[in-house]
């Protein structure tokens, strides 16, 4: 893979929230997940995920961590939960609640350590509010159903699915306003 950081920087320059609405569609081996965004509260996180998607970063990655009743997590290029794109982005904490279908950014104990890993909530998780950056949500019932289906897969050590849950393709849909 070429320098992801430079690719993302270049792609970010083409994203304009005043002219377009963006959606990311994840095709998984458990069904589709369509994501809509909150650029009004977390523009940096939205631009980052859109840019990584346009760069093909998420194609073939897995949801490497699934915790029933909590969340599903993906976006690690190593599939282990310790990988990222080679850079981090600053937190954009906001007042959006962590509820079913909400898209939020995974990070280490350092609030400014997010990179490419994200999670989608299965239930309301109030203790995450204001601690992690909420930047989108599932766009429709079918997407939330897919997320819940993934949330029910059998897991082994480190909350890893026994059978891989794969993002076969991630695509950006850009709609003029």
- pLDDT per residue, tens digit, the chain (177 aa), is 458 999 999 999 999 999 999 999 999 999 999 999 999 999 999 999 999 999 999 999 999 999 999 999 999 999 999 999 999 999 999 999 999 999 999 999 999 999 999 999 999 999 999 999 999 999 999 999 999 999 999 999 999 999 999 999 999 999 999
Bridge partners of 155, per DSSP, are 161
Q: What pTM, to 2 d.p., does this model score?
A: 0.97
* Annotated domain spans of the chain: 4-176
Q: What is the pLDDT of residue 10?
A: 97
Residue 26: strand, helix, or coil: strand
What CATH superfamily classification does 4-176 receive? Answer: Cyclophilin-like (2.40.100.10)
DSSP 54: H
Walk across the sheet containing 31-37 and list its strands: 63-67, 71-74, 118-121, 102-105, 134-138, 31-37, 20-28, 167-176
Helix, strand, or coil (residue 6): helix
The answer to whether 147 and 72 are in contact (CB under 8 A) is yes
pLDDT score, position 2: 57
Strands of 9-122 (E only): list them. 20-28, 31-37, 63-67, 71-74, 102-105, 118-121
Q: What's the pLDDT at 1?
A: 44
Q: Report DSSP state, residue 77.
A: T
């Amino acid at each position: 893979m070429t320098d992801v950081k430079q690719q993302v920087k270049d792609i970010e320059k083409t994203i304009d929230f005043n002219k377009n609405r963006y959606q990311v569609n994840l095709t998984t081996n458990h069904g589709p997940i369509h994501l809509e965004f909150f650029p009004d509260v977390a523009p940096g996180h939205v631009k980052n995920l859109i840019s990584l998607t346009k760069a093909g970063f998420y194609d073939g990655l897995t949801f490497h961590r699934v915790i029933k009743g909590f969340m599903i997590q993906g976006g690690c290029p190593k599939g282990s939960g310790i990988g990222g794109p080679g850079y981090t982005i600053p937190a954009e904490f906001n007042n959006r609640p962590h509820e079913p279908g909400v898209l939020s950014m995974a990070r280490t104990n350092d609030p400014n350590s997010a990179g490419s890993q994200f999670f989608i909530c299965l239930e309301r998780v109030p203790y995450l509010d204001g601690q992690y950056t909420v930047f989108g949500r599932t766009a429709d019932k079918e997407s939330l159903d897919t997320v819940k289906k993934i949330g029910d897969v059998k897991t082994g050590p480190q909350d890893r699915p026994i059978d891989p849950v794969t993002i076969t393709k991630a695509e950006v849909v850009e709609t003029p306003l």
